[in-house]
């Protein structure tokens, strides 16, 4: 377990807001397991394990961390210790689910974070005698609206990943494999200021037609269109995510024309972002440009996803999502076009909703880049 770099006062405010939102939602308590929500609320990072670690909070409940004693020192080194939160530690042979149930005595409606596994959800439900529900609608509210410090960290992440994209032409060339190029990119992600590499996609030629292709031993050849989608976490735990499309040598004229349309579609979606519009309206702006060019069927996914302590979080910029955008929301704008067994292309920037539009956090060129 590690900690994020925000001061204790920030985490105290987040805890107060989460408790208030729980009360508004009619929840008597919330149980938050390891994952992005726990990281956001108290700065504790780590994966869930068979030993229960959980934060229990809610209206009238002093936020309490239930943690294995063997992890106690690590948890105290995070904002949990800085805030002086109540801690209920346990050792093997104890019943940690009973500790949580004791804190929630008398609760009739209890929410759990979406990262809490069934391994812990089922015993808790049995002990509490209630049907647990997802606390996602409550927890997402705080995470969706970024404050000034969070936006500053996302800017930092955006600058760092831009620096990596500027170096891609050094490594992307005919005769090299996707895996070799990806290794150079991964090293640069760390060199440019990230603490972790979250993902590296190098999709050359037909592999680019798979939106979530990672890397392979395919040898890059002249004329390949190559999708490079990369991201990582900066020391605060906030993430970068940016995609550019490159061509090795001279592009096919049809590919160049279609990618030019994609660039316009991406810009149309960016231009549509402002408070008061819905997520689906931003998605439609990109989709409409592609449809006019006869490329609607080549767009296989949503236009974007939120970003913060998790690479993918709410809001999702997708058809049917009538969520109204608000100032401080941060998300990707990343339409793509994909042609099976031929090639694919995607252009992605992170944007933050401002009072009258949006701020784009990535600044490298969007047009097809020849290398």
pTM of the model: 0.94
Domains 2-143 and 145-370 share a fold: no
Task: List the beta bridge partners of residue 337.
Answer: 345
* pLDDT (tens digit per residue) in 95-137: 999 999 999 999 999 999 999 999 999 999 999 999 999 999 9
Measured between alpha carbons, how far is 321 from 283 in angstroms, rounded to an integer?
Answer: 9
Q: What is the pLDDT of residue 2?
A: 47
* pLDDT (tens digit per residue) in 208-266: 999 989 999 999 999 999 999 999 999 999 999 999 999 999 989 999 999 999 999 99
As assigned by CATH, the class of the 145-370 domain is alpha beta
Residue 35 token pair = 């994952």
- Note whether 135 and 142 are within 8 A (CB): no
Average pLDDT value over all residues in the chain: 96
Residue 4 has pLDDT above 60, yes or no: no
Residue 3 has pLDDT above 60, yes or no: no
End-to-end Cα, the chain, rounded Å: 41
Domain ranges within the chain, ordered by starting residue: 2-143, 145-370
Q: What is the pLDDT of residue 222?
A: 96
What is the topology classification, in CATH, of domain 2-143?
A: Creatine Amidinohydrolase; Chain A, domain 1 (3.40.350)
- C-alpha distances out from residue 7 to 3, 77, 83, 85, Å: 11, 13, 10, 14
Q: What is the pLDDT of residue 5?
A: 65
- Note whether 337 and 329 are within 8 A (CB): no
């Amino acid at each position: 377990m590690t900690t994020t770099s925000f001061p204790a006062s920030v985490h105290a405010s987040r805890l107060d807001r989460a408790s208030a939102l729980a009360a508004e939602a009619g929840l008597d308590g919330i149980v938050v397991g390891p994952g992005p929500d726990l990281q956001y609320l108290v700065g504790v990072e780590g994966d869930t394990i068979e030993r229960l670690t959980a934060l229990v909070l809610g209206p009238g409940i002093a936020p309490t961390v239930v943690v294995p004693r063997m992890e106690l020192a690590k948890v105290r080194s995070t904002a949990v210790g800085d805030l002086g939160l109540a801690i209920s530690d346990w050792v093997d042979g104890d019943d940690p689910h009973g500790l949580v149930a004791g804190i929630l005595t008398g609760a009739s409606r209890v929410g759990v974070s979406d990262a809490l596994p069934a391994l812990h959800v089922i015993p808790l439900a049995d002990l509490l005698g209630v049907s647990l529900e997802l606390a996602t609608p409550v927890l997402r509210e705080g995470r969706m609206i970024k404050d000034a410090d969070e936006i500053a960290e996302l800017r930092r992440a955006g600058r760092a990943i831009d620096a990596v994209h500027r170096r891609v032409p050094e490594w992307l060339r005919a005769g090299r494999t996707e895996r070799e190029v990806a290794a150079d990119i991964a090293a640069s992600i760390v060199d440019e200021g990230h603490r972790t590499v979250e993902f590296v996609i190098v999709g050359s030629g037909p592999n680019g037609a798979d939106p979530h292709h990672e890397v392979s031993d395919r040898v890059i050849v002249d004329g390949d269109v190559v999708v490079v989608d990369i991201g990582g976490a900066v020391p605060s735990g906030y993430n970068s995510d940016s995609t550019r499309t490159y061509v090795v040598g001279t592009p096919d004229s049809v590919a160049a024309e279609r990618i030019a349309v994609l660039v316009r579609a991406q810009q149309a979606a960016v231009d549509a972002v402002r408070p008061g519009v819905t997520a689906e309206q931003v998605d439609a702006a990109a989709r409409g440009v592609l449809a006019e060019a006869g490329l609607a069927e080549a767009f296989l996914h949503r236009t974007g996803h939120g970003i913060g302590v998790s690479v993918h979080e709410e809001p999702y910029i997708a058809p049917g999502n009538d969520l109204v955008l608000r100032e401080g929301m941060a998300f990707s704008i990343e339409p793509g076009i994909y042609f099976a067994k031929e090639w694919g292309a995607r252009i992605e920037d992170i944007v933050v909703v401002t009072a009258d539009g949006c701020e784009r956090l990535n600044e490298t060129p969007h047009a097809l880049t020849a290398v």
